[in-house]
Structure 1
């Protein structure tokens, strides 16, 4: 099992304010060390906080988060499949990250600190990995005709990854709540669309019968 060295929060925040280069590959953006991969996935999640879709980004980030959850469960670095590692990130991603970095990380930097470490300890590893996986799967489940469905799962990923990275139990608790809310909202949106779709089909069938 890989040992994850400590990094001072100040050093972490300095690295988080360095966005990936334009048109970088996914492998370059996430790095190869297990702890660094946590904060890089947090950084890549920032553009998903905006209710505007980047083509393919929700799928890429959702798969990354699920793979990260599995790697975290084993205490190892995330190994990317070749098709994902070589994938190019959208060229506009650094600009979107820069737009949100100062606001989101500026706030978190003021309030985040190591606390309630039991929530980020070894006994909670499986639970935290499960929460990360659920958040990733919620991001992987797009809701047709809805532009804001990625916001809550992306917020959950930011909170969970940084909570684990900083060993901040308060951030983790916020991440748990956001994960549950994201999964529930995705399920409810799909349920609403299915009900609306069924009603539309029934109305069309009744109209055709009256012809």
Structure 2
């Protein structure tokens, strides 16, 4: 007993985490390897496969970088998957989205951040609170994905980081469903609500600023 290696319990404790990491890397890596070509060429035919794709495509938007048109594509894809989850089967891609090629800059950014983001997902994600990922609550999960997608698609002038919260919500909900992690889903719900609130607040603030500017201009011209 005295000669027992003290590191053995640690190795046993770390093994599940390493196994989860390998599983998540295998799942995401297989999708990432097929990113060349059009969306129709790359996407799978099941909602589970599409959820992984959705999370991967949303990952570059976690950072405030300029990717023209990417938010619209991810938002539309998010709505499509949400509808597929709601009816229990994948929905065919519309022609304009099926023919869309994955942006080279987004692909390069994905390659750079792949290990870091997947490592975080693997270390945190695990099956728990399974009822939240059950088919009986698919309407709730589809609704949350829809809100996140709409928040991403809604244009907010001037602000360059308005896609960060919706992208984070999409990543959390997608992997929460894929890994059946109810806690990750709960956090995703909260981020989704925060994303929707931020979009509404930005639009309200913008409208108030425009009204104030017009009022000031009217007073200035009248004077």
Counterpart among 106, 123, 130 of residue 119 in structure 2? 106
Per the alignment, residue 145 of structure 1 pairs with: 158
Tell me the distance in 2 between the aligned counterparts of 1:53 and 1:24: 22
- Pair 1:17 & 2:29 matched: yes
**Residue of structure 2 equivalent to 1:182:** 195
Partner of 2:9: none
Aligned to 2:98: 85
Closer, same or farther: CA 22–30 of 1 in aligned 2, 3 Å: closer
Higher-Rg member (1/2): 2
Aligned partners of 2:104 and 2:190: how far apart in 1?
A: 32
Structural mapping, 1:139-178, within 5 Å = 139-178=152-191
**Is 1:59 aligned with 2:72?**
yes
In structure 2, distance between residues paired with 1:29 and 1:50:
24
Q: Is the Cα contact below 8 Å between 1:20 and 1:94 reproduced in 2?
A: no
Residue segments in structure 2 that go unaligned for 5+ positions in a row: 1-18
What is the DSSP-based 3-state SS (H/G/I as helix, E as strand, rest coil) of the residue aligned with 2:117? helix
* Alpha-carbon contact 1:135-1:156 (below 8 Å) kept: yes
Q: Which residue of structure 2 lines up, in the alignment, with residue 97 of structure 1?
A: 110
Normalised by the length of structure 1, the TM-score is: 0.91
**What is the RMSD of the two structures over their aligned residues, measured on CA atoms?**
1.6
* Structure 1 gap ranges (5+): 1-7
Higher helix residue share: 2
Q: Structure 2 length normalisation: TM-score?
A: 0.86
Shift of residue 21, structure 1, vs aligned partner = 5.5
Number of matched pairs: 203
Alignment partners' CA distance in 2, 1:98 and 1:25: 18
